[in-house]
Structure 1
Amino acid sequence: MRPHGSAAELEARRLKALDLIRQGWRVKYVGVTSTTASTWKNKPQHVPQCRLDARQKQQLAAGFPTDLWTRRRVAQVVHEKFGIEYNPDHLCRILHDLGFSCQKPERQAREQDVAAIETWRAEDWPRIKKGAKQRS
């Protein structure tokens, strides 16, 4: 079960516990389990800093000429424009910070005739639908 507190409070608790353990305090007096303390000592948690600065992020937000962005395409653009390699799976945080969310545009034919579609829906579809009911 996760302890109560904000991320900053939990980080402060973790750092204080590690400091006490390094000073020679026994784990049971620090208030964490020995497994937790061992994990903290062996695998320090850190969040890597973003290698893109604010200006580069804004340039990235300018986008692609098409509607569909994929993480792989974004990684490609970051590498080509800024010379920074990112694993496509780690770009979600940057894109989220820029206000993007996962979406996929609907595909539509360029030759689509909206008036013809509306006419078909208004005239032909009711006739076809009635015919299907009568045949049943």
Structure 2
Amino acid sequence: MLLAGKTPAQAAHAVGVARQTAYTWKAVLDEGGIDALRAMPTRGRPARLDQDQLQDLGRALLRRPTEHGFGTELWTLKRVGVLTWRLYGVKFGQTQIWRILGGLGFSVQKPERRAIERDEDAVQTWKRKTWPALKKKPGAKGG
């Protein structure tokens, strides 16, 4: 992009990096050419899961947690951590798991507060008949 005439700010925005990173790339490009840019070392800690493993993890998460031996149908950060350990022998902190899930396109989902097995008719009957009988009546206790 820089060779095509884009500004460092435009290039940074297009590839999702900080503007300063694109300005560094431009300085290296201007000084040493494209070969110098290609020879730049990558920064940061190397990834512990490669792209194929990440895609495989994403597919595994699309299956139900119970299929992976968990007791309920709810994925949690802790469970995803257990799954990455089982599949790849790699442990991540919950913050990193959160980032990995975001990178895979997953988002936070709040579970329903009601049980799937809830019998709505039984609940309404209880509210209409049983609950009023259980409520304290004013003056029922001597005091």
The TM-score with structure 2 as length reference comes to 0.49
Please say if 1:100 is aligned against 2:101.
Answer: no
Distance 1:114 1:105, change over 3 A: closer
Deviation of 1:87 (Å): 2.1
Distance 1:9 1:113, change over 3 A: closer
Please say if 1:12 is aligned against 2:22.
Answer: yes
Query: 5+ unaligned residues in a row in structure 2: which ranges?
Result: 1-8, 33-41, 67-71, 139-143
Distance 1:127 1:56, change over 3 A: closer
For residues 54 and 116 of structure 1, the distance between their equivalents in structure 2, rounded to whole angstroms, comes to 44
Give the partner amino acid of 1:13.
Y
Name the residue aligned to 2:62.
61
Distance 1:78 1:113, change over 3 A: same
Higher relative contact order (CA 8 A, sep 6+): 1
CA contact under 8 A between 1:78 and 1:85: conserved in structure 2? yes
Deviation of 1:92 (Å): 1.1
Deviation of 1:125 (Å): 6.7
RMSD between superposed Cα atoms in Å? 4.0
Give the partner amino acid of 2:82.
Q
Mapping 1:109-128, distance limit 5 Å: 112-122=118-128
The TM-score with structure 1 as length reference comes to 0.51
CA contact under 8 A between 2:48 and 2:90: conserved in structure 1? no
Give the partner amino acid of 1:71.
L
Query: 5+ unaligned residues in a row in structure 1: which ranges?
Result: 24-43
SS at match of 1:80: helix
